[in-house]
Amino acid sequence: MAGDILVLTVDGDPHAEHVAGLLAGRGARPVFFDPADYPAGAVLEAVYDRDGRVRRRLRTGSADVDLDRLTAVWFRRPRPPVAHPEIVDAAARGYVEQECLAFAADLWDQLGCRTVPAPRGVVTLAQRKSSQLALAGRLGFELPATLITNDPDAFLDFYARHDGRIITKPFDNPWAPRADGEETSRLAEPVSTRDVAYADAIRFAPVITQEYVDKRVELRVTVVGRAVFAAEIHSQENNHARFDWRRYDLGSTRHEVHRLPGDVARRCVEIVERLGLCYGALDLILTPDGRYVFLEVNPSGQWLWIEQATGLPISEALCDLLLYGEVRAATARPA
């Protein structure tokens, strides 16, 4: 039965807004909330009666939500709480934000409704890249040779063993701070001879280092429930996107529907399920000789551009998942 669906995400999220429109068309009431607005712009409240009854509410400037009557919560892209601007002391702000985060997280975990892609704590664990690689290997995926280390000598040895054809990428956060206070994105990057000269800096933090895998195409495989939607990204046709398709230009990068072999599609569903998720966006490489190589899973990965470029009904499948807990046969298409 359609009802209130709480969508936890940043303001102006086009993916969530698109799905919300579809949900509303099916009779559901999506309610948006960015946890970064708590506590300055919202009230979270839990009342416990002597007889054990509990009432939980979220109140914002535009909504009053009975959290105990939700039919689903979508942890789309929630940010952590931000202290009220009147609190200017850094230590005090840190304390207040930690208290707000602790209560909000506890409250989300208490809700007995459907959660997509999984309860908050499960999503946090599922994002760990080294654990993903270990699980993918156990499930039979081919992996790129990978080294995660803060040992410069181990890095240089890996570089030599692969004749310098390696890439690096961040372990957790793709946004790195700059000296001017702004941020810069850190994606998959080839290692240059200049980078090797600064290898000693690796001792300060771990880095993911992988052999460069030759590509026929890159694949974005979106798993929604047990439905698999696979798309080819022809990144090798664009020099800007050769090493990381996220540098692509939609107008000049070809996208097509891809039919995965049955065993690969089953592994994609299995790794998402084994991570405790009901949604996951996988990045794979299809090599020139036809091998499928696993890179990673993103529990909050984007999909709208894939849907617009290929016609794959990913948003409708997400609506099914939020409304029914599974993707209906009429929505799903074979991978």
Q: Where are the beta strands (DSSP E) in 49-198?
A: 54-60, 64-66, 72-75, 114-116, 146-149, 166-169, 175-177, 183-185, 189-190
Per-residue pLDDT tens for 192-207? 888 888 889 889 988 8
Average pLDDT, the chain: 90
Per-residue pLDDT tens for 16-68? 999 999 999 999 999 999 999 999 999 999 999 999 999 999 999 989 999 99
Angle at 293 between CA 237 and CA 158, to 5 degrees: 95
196 is written with which tokens?
């090797």
Domains of the chain by start residue, with CATH: 4-116 (3.40.50), 145-211 (3.30.1490), 214-324 (3.30.470.20)
